[in-house]
Structure 1
Amino acid sequence: MKPRIGNGLLYGGLLLGALTLVPQSQADEVAKELKPAKNYTVTSAPTEELEIPPPVLPDLSGYTRAAALAKIPQHQGQGRIAVRRMLQQDALKDFIGGDERLREWVTRQHGMPQAIFIEGGRVSLADLARQLPKEQFAESEPGVFIARLPVVVAQGATLVVDKQVKEFRLSQERGAFLVNDGLLFLVDTKLTGWREGDNATATFRRPDEFRPFLVSWGGSQLYIVDSQVASLGYSNSKSYGVSVTQYTPGMHERLKRPAPTGWLLGSEFVDIWYGFYCYEAANVVIKGNTYRDNVVYGIDPHDRSHGLIIADNTVYGTKKKHGIIISREVNDSWIINNRSYDNKLSGIVIDRNSVNNLVAYNEVYRNHADGITLYESPNNLLWGNQIFNNTRHGIRVRNSVNIRLYENVAAANQLTGIYGHIKDLSDTDRDIRLDPFDTEVSMIVVGGKLAANGSSPLAIDSPLSVELYRVEMLAPTKSSGISFAGVLGDNQEQILDMMVRRKQAVLIDPIDSQVEMQD
């Protein structure tokens, strides 16, 4: 065992770490993982191209409570309310396909399953309670409403749940859930999965147990503002909790609905299978929310979503996986000014060919894997993040090229401050056709600080290239001082001489690539 940080390191008023003992085997883990280095050259690089201005952040001033409320149609007439069979309804086909899923609702409703439909105008929960029998929908106490059937907001309709509603409960026993195919507003209220038998929230018990959920389909708009959403979702397609998702490919081809969108502002999401999930969504804004104690993920944008803004959120206590993850071609998006901590795995993950994203000014700490992880996702910029006290690496980059790391602080992480490596995923359960990858890594590291990380400030495995400039390396945990691993370790003396003593930019380049260029 060896001391990791001594008496601790103060940065920005925060104690990054106190005396922590790390097994020598864990401290040397990175060196064992790295493959034997090829021959590399270390040369001085021009600095002009490395000095880029701070990134331009999106203007968030328009995403406010007032702006969201202004989207409620003011001249829309009273909507119609009808109860129909769930079968043959486009908005419900995903949930009744196959005998097993149909059986779920037959069992819970004790007959051919039905749903409540809101059509052709604007409706409130009070309207539903007045027009429907109590076994389908009821005001159980003043301002508290419970749905005992699925509720569908049809295309062209609007449901407004506002401060007149203390709580909107979805009955777990009766198989209730909420589908938005039009406009849905939750403002100053609560939406809760409800276990009527216990007269309590439907807290998570096991992955395959039905819990109510909210799904907002292609062409819809969802606005959740200053509200609490709790105890929704389970492990079944599109039933994850709070989902903004395009229709399945076959239905999308027929319906041709535009990408769904929405704003989630100033709200709290608790005990949800996926705190937020989207699929082929566009321009969704997730701003100023708290995601706490969710089950699998806090925030999880997925497949081919783009133009997302994930800003000013606090995400912590995720029980199974990551705090924030974007995965599978989630492009041209911003993850900025968030706090992600105490999650089961990584704080922030960029995954599966998600490109052209900005991850900036986040605080990522005390996560039980990496701080920020990039898997198979080239062409991303990380700027000005503070990443500290994570159980594994501060920043991990795997099979990703053209990763630019600017002005980041990675301190007191148990393994490496910045770790770049390649990995062959062919023998895993990964679908290579769906998620292709190249075993290549390259990065530019400019500015910032790497301090008191357990194994090494930097370790890079078989890179196509690495450029380093103005990187401060402080408070080494090893008595021998700063110690690199991998390619950098093989060339440590020369790298430190150029970067630290002579204040030059350093280019580490494989000899093979230079020979190919000459040929």
Structure 2
Amino acid sequence: MKHHWVLTVTAAAIIAALPMTVEARLTEALKPSEPAPMFEVEDYGIEMASGESITRPDPELPDVSQYNREAVEERLSERPDERPNVSVERIAGVSALGDFVDEGRAREWVIRQYSHPQAILVNSGKATLDDVFRQVDDARYMERNEDGSYIIRLPLVVRPGATLEIRDETLRLSEERGAFLANDSWLFVIDSTIIGWREKANGPATFQKKSNFRPFFVGWGGSETFVLGSDFASLGYNQSKSYGFSIAQYSKYDNARLKRSAPHAWLIESTFRDIYYGFYCYEAEDVAIVNNTYRDNIVYGIDPHDYSSNLLIAGNHVYGTLEKHGIIISREVNDSWILNNRSHDNGLSGIVLDRQSSNNVVANNVVHDNAGDGIGLYESPDNLLWGNRLINNLRNGIRVRNSTNVGVYHNIAALNGTFGVLGQIKDLSATDRNFEEDFYHQAVSLTVVGGKLASNASGPLSTDNPQYIELYDVDMRFPRSDVGIHFDGVLGAYQTEIFDALLNNHRAVRLTPVGD
């Protein structure tokens, strides 16, 4: 399912077109986490240039319409229509369950199952929930309720080569008995509900504490997961690969034996709520998260992580995340698209790119009323922000921290609690960051073209010690302060020249250290 390959090339090409200056190349040559050279205000010079030198055409964005009901049904029709085989067996030796019995975690299921842990295994063929129910044929493990819904009281695993289709069904996963759903092959969830279930309360397994077990879903390396028009709710807790809805490659140790390709998934027109992480992935590729609703999740709404690539996050409505960000990609999540999402009223920022996530395009999103920044780039160089609207966020409209070669084109940042756009250098040595795994450079450089920076509490724009900053056609009218616009630092030293170039002469401005 390599449906994003062309998109990857396009995204990388878009970012490659951003200016690569001498200063940026010097920054790239720094050792990991080494601070860039620090400059005084008098070290900088100002250069005027034509606007054409730093403008660029609109990015060619991917066709989101290809992720639809017909495409999912076509994928399902390609699976062999073979008679299913389902069994209940001990979990030892089942690759999809290894993570949950290693390092003492098996105790969780021994306690909940009152015996040696078992699982329901879809071993082969194409199965429906009714097939699973009839072949299990034991109410201790799986039961059909009076309303037609099913409840499972064991982990349910789709084994390699098999297909499980859940269509127009409600599947409840028993919290007390330690049920969860693991896909090691092909899973289709269409117009259905998957919900963590608290049997004692006869209701959803709503979040209580991060350490408390709740049922979850995981799609492993080599798997294909398709979710369409469905509802996932009350899942996940703070344990590895048990976060709620996860698409994850096997560990290096396990995959040396299993040799699985990266996992893939399409999530389309569905709802994810009351989930510890609404979405999480690890070393995933070709994931499409399109036109979904993520609401009232616990730590993150959408959280692609660790060396994932070729992701499309488009048209989603993400809000009410309790603790942290609505959408975040972190630790070398590259060559991806975050488009046309609405992210608001989240515990921290609306959209974040973190820990060396590069060659990504963030375009046409509406991000408002978040308790952090609208969009934050943290230690993530070589990204493009295009046409986003960032309104009434508690901190900055856009924050670019320790990130170089960032393009900020045609964005609107208004009524934010500090700056419209902030370029920031920050020493992270006092944090618990692993600087070998999560290296960074204490340097910032950005190009700001077009758009409006209006009525932000601390001002339209600020940056400290940039490797370079380029400005053109930026509307900075309507300051919130009674004294008008007042830059500090290097921008303040050239404020008159900057406004003369931008407003009177319609020229681009470039500030850069001039050297000795």
| TM-score normalised by the chain length of structure 2 | 0.91
Equivalence for 2:148: 143
Q: Deviations along 1:181-227, whole A, 9 cap, x unmatched?
A: 01101101100000000000000000000000000000000011001
Which runs of structure 1 show a deviation greater than 4 angstroms over 4 or more consecutive aligned residues?
34-38
**1:41 offset after TM fit, Å?**
1.3
- Asked if 1:329 corresponds to 2:332, the answer is yes
- Asked if 1:278 corresponds to 2:281, the answer is yes
SS in 1 for 2:122: strand
Q: Which deviates more, 342-351 or 252-261?
A: 252-261
Aligned mate of 2:212, from 197, 209, 213: 209
Aligned mate of 1:495, from 476, 498, 516: 498
SS in 1 for 2:134: helix
Aligned mate of 2:53, from 49, 52, 56: 49
Equivalence for 1:131: 135
CA distance in 1 between partners of 2:113 and 2:102 (Å) = 17
SS in 2 for 1:322: coil
Equivalence for 2:359: 356
Contact 2:372 2:396 in 1 (8 A): yes
**1:298 offset after TM fit, Å?**
0.2
Contact 1:35 1:461 in 2 (8 A): no
Equivalence for 1:77: 82
**1:87 offset after TM fit, Å?**
1.9
Aligned mate of 1:315, from 314, 318, 322: 318
Equivalence for 2:202: 199
Q: Deviations along 1:316-369, whole A, 9 cap, x unmatched?
A: 000010000000110000000000000000000001111100000000000001
CA distance in 2 between partners of 1:431 and 1:511 (Å) = 34
* Percent identity over paired residues: 52
Equivalence for 1:234: 237
| TM-score normalised by the chain length of structure 1 | 0.90
CA distance in 1 between partners of 2:205 and 2:489 (Å) = 50
Contact 1:458 1:485 in 2 (8 A): no
Equivalence for 1:63: 67
CA distance in 1 between partners of 2:303 and 2:489 (Å) = 33
Equivalence for 1:9: none
- Asked if 1:462 corresponds to 2:452, the answer is no
Q: Give the aligned CA root-mean-square deviation in angstroms.
A: 1.3
Mapping of residues 16-415 of structure 1, within 5 Å: 37=41, 39-72=43-76, 73=78, 75-99=80-104, 101-132=105-136, 133-163=138-168, 165=169, 167-415=170-418
CA distance in 2 between partners of 1:36 and 1:44 (Å) = 21
Contact 2:450 2:475 in 1 (8 A): yes
Equivalence for 1:424: 427
1:424 maps to amino acid: D
CA distance in 2 between partners of 1:432 and 1:279 (Å) = 20
Contact 2:367 2:391 in 1 (8 A): yes
CA distance in 1 between partners of 2:484 and 2:349 (Å) = 28
Mapping of residues 467-482 of structure 1, within 5 Å: 467-482=470-485
SS in 2 for 1:118: strand
**1:503 offset after TM fit, Å?**
1.4
Contact 1:124 1:161 in 2 (8 A): yes
Contact 2:80 2:125 in 1 (8 A): no
CA distance in 2 between partners of 1:49 and 1:281 (Å) = 37
Structure 1: which 5+ runs fail to align?
1-33
CA distance in 1 between partners of 2:412 and 2:354 (Å) = 22
Equivalence for 1:506: 509
Q: Which deviates more, 263-272 or 483-492?
A: 483-492
2:49 maps to amino acid: A
**1:39 offset after TM fit, Å?**
2.7
**1:490 offset after TM fit, Å?**
2.6
1:202 maps to amino acid: A
CA distance in 2 between partners of 1:328 and 1:75 (Å) = 37
Equivalence for 1:7: none
Count how many residue pairs are aligned between Structure 1 and Structure 2.
Answer: 477
CA distance in 1 between partners of 2:117 and 2:513 (Å) = 64
Contact 1:193 1:232 in 2 (8 A): yes
CA distance in 2 between partners of 1:194 and 1:38 (Å) = 64
**1:131 offset after TM fit, Å?**
2.0
SS in 2 for 1:194: strand
Structure 2: which 5+ runs fail to align?
1-37
SS in 2 for 1:496: helix
Q: Deviations along 1:391-431, whole A, 9 cap, x unmatched?
A: 00000000000000000000000100000011111221000
**1:35 offset after TM fit, Å?**
9.9
CA distance in 2 between partners of 1:392 and 1:108 (Å) = 45
Change (3 A) 1:37 1:109: farther
Q: Deviations along 1:140-177, whole A, 9 cap, x unmatched?
A: 224200010000000100110001x1x10000000000
Q: Which deviates more, 482-491 or 288-297?
A: 482-491
CA distance in 1 between partners of 2:328 and 2:492 (Å) = 31
Contact 1:268 1:291 in 2 (8 A): yes
CA distance in 2 between partners of 1:253 and 1:211 (Å) = 30
CA distance in 2 between partners of 1:296 and 1:151 (Å) = 26
Q: Deviations along 1:12-56, whole A, 9 cap, x unmatched?
A: xxxxxxxxxxxxxxxxxxxxxx99745311220233231210001
1:84 maps to amino acid: E
SS in 1 for 2:329: strand
Contact 2:80 2:126 in 1 (8 A): no
Equivalence for 2:29: none
Contact 1:453 1:476 in 2 (8 A): yes
1:278 maps to amino acid: C
Q: Deviations along 1:458-486, whole A, 9 cap, x unmatched?
A: 00010000000000012111111112233
CA distance in 1 between partners of 2:148 and 2:493 (Å) = 68
